[in-house]
Amino acid sequence: MASLDRFGLGLTDIIAVASGDAVFLAHKSRAQDVKQAVDILRQKNLAQADQFTLDHRPWGSFDRLASGERFQVKQIHVKPGAKLSLQSHHRRSERLDRCCRYSPSLRG
């Protein structure tokens, strides 16, 4: 079941853009001003200016939950029947935790 955590009532002539970590609203007459909003995000060095947190792949998708200089935390969603390619990295460590009750056992 999908969750309903953002909604509006009585809104007309608006532009609404929502991602997992940000919401942008503007009157449609100011559509050209979206660039100004993106420029403000870039000035503040915020990742939302240039990337979405959700990234789609042939096997499913992943959502970036947190990141830092030396780490990333992602939540992955694998399509039923799809397979992930297990890779090893020499310059970083990876850990894959199964945290969904619907996940089958991970096999490498």
Statement: residue 52 has pLDDT above 70 = yes
Identify the three-state secondary structure at position 42: helix
pTM for this entry: 0.51
pLDDT of residue 1: 38
pLDDT of residue 13: 93
Contacts of 21 (CB under 8 A, 6+ apart): 48, 53
Residue 92 φ/ψ region, left for φ over 0, alpha for ψ in the -120 to 50 degree band, beta for the rest = beta
Statement: residue 58 has pLDDT above 50 = yes
Mean per-residue pLDDT of the chain? 78
CA 92, 65, 48, 56 dihedral sign is positive
Query: What residue ranges in the chain does DSSP mark as E strands?
Result: 14-18, 23-27, 54-57, 60-67, 72-78
Residue-wise pLDDT tens digits, 60-95 = 888 888 877 778 888 888 888 888 776 766 776 777
